[in-house]
Amino acid sequence: MKMEHFLKNTKAEESHGCIIAQETTIMVVAHNLGFPRIGANRELKKAQESFWAGTISEAELIEVGRELRAKHWALQKNAGIAFAPVGDFAFYDHVLNVTALVGAVPPRHANASGSTADLKTYFSMARGDAGVPAQDMTKWFDTNYHYIVPEFADTTKFAIADESLFAQVSEALAAGLRPKPVLVGPFTYLYLGKEKSAGFARLSLLPALLEVYAAILDRLTLLGVEWVQLDEPALALDLTADKLELFASAYARLAKHGPKKLLATYFGDVSDHAALLKSLPVDGIHIDVVRAPAQLDSFLVDLPSTKVLSVGVVDGRNIWRNDIRASVALLQKASSSLGERLWVAPSCSLLHTPVDLANETKLDAEFRSWLAFSTQKLAEVSAIATALTSGEAAVASQLAESDAAVASRKSSVRVNNPEVRARIAQLPANSDARQSPYPVRAKAQAARLQLPRFPTTTIGSFPQTAEIRKARADFKKGTIPEALYVEKMKAEISLVVERQEAYGIDVFVHGEAERNDMVEYFGEQLAGFAFTENGWVQSYGSRCVKPPVIFGDVSRPKPMTVDWTTYAQSLTKKPMKGMLTGPVTVLQWSFVRVDIPRSETCLQLAVALRDEVADLEKAGIAVIQIDEPAIREGLPLRRKDYDAYLEWATRCFRVNASPVRDDTQIHTHMCYSEFNDILPAIAAMDADVITIETSRSDMELLTGFGTFAYPNDIGPGVYDIHSPRLPNLAEMLQLLEKAVAVIPAERLWVNPDCGLKTRKWPETENALTTMVAAARELRVKYPAA
């Protein structure tokens, strides 16, 4: 240990003229904002789905939850993490947990007792139940995690309605741990909700909500909790002065209640609010210095001596190993000035990274050395805190490993591909434009495709049955040969084609049976990508994804979808849509390299996918869909950054989509998001047809498309594929009438909200038959001129 550092981090006492150093009296704290709840082997997913299927009891599900919490707390304690986060566990979603806790249950889900403690009410809010629609689900900021949107009305009343949080605090205390409850803060909770009654602003409910938060905090004090973490990521968004005032008033109201409060911000730069945050009656502030490193100084200056500063220096959104030497250097000044008031943490909850790298058995040693999953990130946080407390020598081996990984990644020949760089540099200037404008293309496509008015189509995937998944798992394990796997997938494609013929669909899809996931499937076939065996991350409820890792320059070694698509086309005379995932979505749903700008990686993806589009056209495919559901999610959190992002994102889409003739029809598809604030950019993508999710919002989302006069064809979803609930003909017709009111009939398509992969066949059959019937009625009511 360097003497200089040692003295800086110890309290020196003078005794009889000698300086006696008392080691470890000043310790930088290592803590965590939240741990993934799914379990290293997706135990939670399996238990949830078994419970919903009726094969395990509620008690068994609850027991799985208890075991996971105990395991995750022990893991964090053993890694040297100071507190046990409580409240990061959820049987569906942590925002829904707050809804249950504060009793904000929409009347349609309320039970007689008014309590939300029962899982039936909880899951009814999340998934709908017996004809009662679920609450909306939307993206958690710019992540691929979806939360259940709280619903507020002028009649909403709050009261503590669920004991789970308190019970879990007791659970942690009984295990000898120091629980730190983690709750979405009151401002963010209201901000992320939606209004269900007219002429009312949800933030007007803040005073009433704060009464309940105050009561919750008091209960936590009574239980002996030292610290509570209140997450306010909404601070990373654009907030007007009156909103900030409300935010400040909320914390003033809570000042006298509860344990010490750590106010956690993440996902962006909150330095504009530094003075405000430092003045609040809270005991600590967490900032994300992975996303916004420059904000550290704003918080170090004049931080009141009563407050701790928690610095999120380990990336909670990506899987790259931390450069521990750089992190320690970044925090050295903070450590010297704050001592034990400095807390080290991941940038945000670890919800967004896989559980444990130890579960990967197939990664080569070099690549593996570049990675850290949640479990490894805890060790990194701990090592950084130890280095700051006791000097770098105390973590010599972790430092050496981290140094070696940083050096190996920088110099690896696997990362840079000169051919890819040259192709991008030579991309012709017109590669981002179709040959003719939409009206000309529309005529050419109408002549080629001969579609009826209100053409029906689906979004791509058909039910991914247990048999399909088993076949893929067997093929991956090597227990069935490739030929048999291909045969099984072809049989599935042929079944899907047959059924679409029977339903009377106009533009067919092959069903995506061969795809494990719409992004991972392409990642597995593109160069520059790596993929994991078990790197699961929760997307919503029990649904998980395994984001591929983009570590180097991206290229396409060979066609990826052409064989499956042409096989499907060979089975029918109806047009078969080629089905691709677009560059922005592949980027957004992968773990992305950080050594070059995201826009550059996106363009590499666009060029690789462009070649696939050209090959599909060459193979005779007349309609190609390029899914971009994540284009809205990738939007920066601050408006000032929108234009730059939308400029490169839409260009990448056009580069992908534009190598084709006028009579080849390009579709795109978007879901899960509010699109109205990016309509000009959606129009700039210049897809011939866009299919979008609208049914959950009762076509509300479509109004913007009408007002903006979106110029090309639109297919607003009429079937909410996220819910087991089936809409009847009258409901579909009502939705379509709303669409006809804002979009000219000749430009309307009829389709579900999104792919059908999560649905079962009987529901699919019922919904699509009804959908075709609805389109046929409209054709009669609004015949072509």
Ligand X SMILES: CN1c2c(nc(N)[nH]c2=O)NC[C@@H]1CNc1ccc(C(=O)N[C@@H](CCC(=O)N[C@@H](CCC(=O)N[C@@H](CCC(=O)O)C(=O)O)C(=O)O)C(=O)O)cc1
Ligand Y SMILES: N[C@@H](CCS)C(=O)O
Residues that bind Zn ion (CB under 5 A): 629, 671, 754
Give SS3 for 555: strand
Question: What is the C-alpha separation between 273 and 670, in angstroms, rounded?
Answer: 34
Whether residue 46 is annotated as binding a ligand: the answer is: no
DSSP 461: B
Whether residue 627 is annotated as binding a ligand: the answer is: yes
- Report in angstroms how near the CB of residue 627 gets to ligand X at its nearest: 8
- Report in angstroms how near the CB of residue 669 gets to ligand Y at its nearest: 6
- Per CB under 6 A, the segment of 312-320, 416-424, 494-502, 752-760 that binds ligand Y is 752-760
Nearest to 580 by CA among 640, 660, 636: 660
Nearest to 593 by CA among 414, 328, 427, 350: 414
- Give the number of residues in contact with ligand Y, rule: CB under 6 A: 12
519 binds ligand X (CB under 6 A): yes
Nearest to 448 by CA among 277, 661, 656, 292: 661
CB closest to ligand Y, residue no: 755
- Report in angstroms how near the CB of residue 763 gets to ligand X at its nearest: 15
The neighbouring-strand residues paired with 425 are none
x/- contact string, 728-757, with ligand X (CB under 6 A)? -----------------------------x
Partner whose footprint covers residue 460, from ligand Y, Zn ion, ligand X, none (CB < 5 to 8 Å by kind): ligand Y
Whether residue 693 is annotated as binding a ligand: the answer is: yes
689-to-233, 625, 664, 716, 747 alpha-carbon distances in Å? 35, 9, 11, 11, 9
Torsion sign, CA atoms 245, 251, 253, 256 = negative
Question: What is the C-alpha separation between 503 and 574, in angstroms, rounded?
Answer: 13
736-to-191, 353, 549, 696, 773 alpha-carbon distances in Å? 31, 40, 40, 13, 12
Sole binder of ligand Y in the list 212, 459, 549, 702 (CB under 6 A): 459
Q: How many CB atoms lie within 10 A of CB 444?
A: 16
Whether residue 257 is annotated as binding a ligand: the answer is: no
Residues 558-587 that bind ligand Y (CB under 6 A): 579
x/- contact string, 471-490, with ligand X (CB under 6 A)? -xx-----------------
Whether residue 144 is annotated as binding a ligand: the answer is: yes
Partner whose footprint covers residue 544, from ligand X, Zn ion, ligand Y, none (CB < 5 to 8 Å by kind): ligand X
- Report in angstroms how near the CB of residue 581 gets to Zn ion at its nearest: 10
H-assigned helices in 339-481: 365-368, 374-390, 396-411, 418-425, 438-449, 466-477
Partner whose footprint covers residue 579, from ligand Y, Zn ion, ligand X, none (CB < 5 to 8 Å by kind): ligand Y
| Token couple for 383 | 């090592």
Question: What is the C-alpha separation between 676 and 699, in angstroms, rounded?
Answer: 12
- Per CB under 6 A, the segment of 49-57, 360-368, 459-467, 722-730 that binds ligand Y is 459-467
Sole binder of ligand Y in the list 455, 629, 715, 716 (CB under 6 A): 629
Q: 530 Cβ partners below 8 Å, 6+ apart?
A: 363, 367, 548, 549, 551
Whether residue 544 is annotated as binding a ligand: the answer is: yes
- Per CB under 6 A, the segment of 234-242, 453-461, 598-606, 764-772 that binds ligand Y is 453-461
For ligand X, the closer of residues 327 and 751 by Cβ is: 751
For ligand X, the closer of residues 327 and 516 by Cβ is: 516
Question: What is the C-alpha separation between 275 and 662, in angstroms, rounded?
Answer: 56
| Token couple for 11 | 């309290």
Q: How many CB atoms lie within 10 A of CB 202?
A: 22
Segment (H or E) for 71: helix 58-78
Question: What is the C-alpha separation between 670 and 628, in angstroms, rounded?
Answer: 6
For ligand Y, the closer of residues 543 and 661 by Cβ is: 543
Partner whose footprint covers residue 545, from Zn ion, ligand X, ligand Y, none (CB < 5 to 8 Å by kind): ligand X
Q: What is the 3-state secondary structure (H, E, C) of 603-656?
A: HHHHHHHHHHHHHHHHCCCCEEEEECCCCCCCCCCCHHHHHHHHHHHHHHHHHH
Sole binder of ligand X in the list 543, 661, 776, 779 (CB under 6 A): 543
Sole binder of ligand X in the list 205, 235, 348, 545 (CB under 6 A): 545
Partner whose footprint covers residue 702, from ligand X, Zn ion, ligand Y, none (CB < 5 to 8 Å by kind): none
Give SS3 for 773: helix
Partner whose footprint covers residue 577, from ligand Y, Zn ion, ligand X, none (CB < 5 to 8 Å by kind): none
- Per CB under 6 A, the segment of 244-252, 296-304, 488-496, 754-762 that binds ligand Y is 754-762
Sole binder of ligand Y in the list 269, 701, 755, 764 (CB under 6 A): 755
Residue written as tokens 């392409």? 522
Q: 158 Cβ partners below 8 Å, 6+ apart?
A: 102, 103, 104, 205, 208, 209, 211, 212
671 binds ligand Y (CB under 6 A): yes
271 binds ligand X (CB under 6 A): no
Contact 415/548 with Cβ under 8 angstroms?
no
x/- contact string, 616-655, with ligand X (CB under 6 A)? -------------x--------------------------
461 binds ligand Y (CB under 6 A): yes
- Report in angstroms how near the CB of residue 186 gets to Zn ion at its nearest: 32
546 binds ligand X (CB under 6 A): yes
516 binds ligand X (CB under 6 A): yes
For ligand X, the closer of residues 524 and 663 by Cβ is: 524
For Zn ion, the closer of residues 162 and 512 by Cβ is: 512
**Is residue 667 flagged as an active site residue?**
no
517 binds ligand X (CB under 6 A): yes
Whether residue 512 is annotated as binding a ligand: the answer is: yes
> In degrees rounded to 5, what are phi and psi of residue 628?
-130, 55
Question: Which segments of 140-178 are extended strands (E)?
Answer: 146-148, 151-152
Q: What residue numbers does the annotated binding site for 5-methyltetrahydropteroyltri-L-glutamate cover?
A: 45, 144, 543-544, 589
Q: Which residues are annotated as a binding site for L-homocysteine?
A: 459-461, 627
Interface residues with ligand X (CB under 6 A) are 144, 464, 466, 469-470, 472-473, 516-520, 539-540, 543-546, 589, 629, 672, 757-758
Give the residues lining the site for ligand Y (CB under 6 A).
459-461, 518, 579, 627, 629, 669, 671, 754-755, 757
**Catalytic residue IDs:** 722
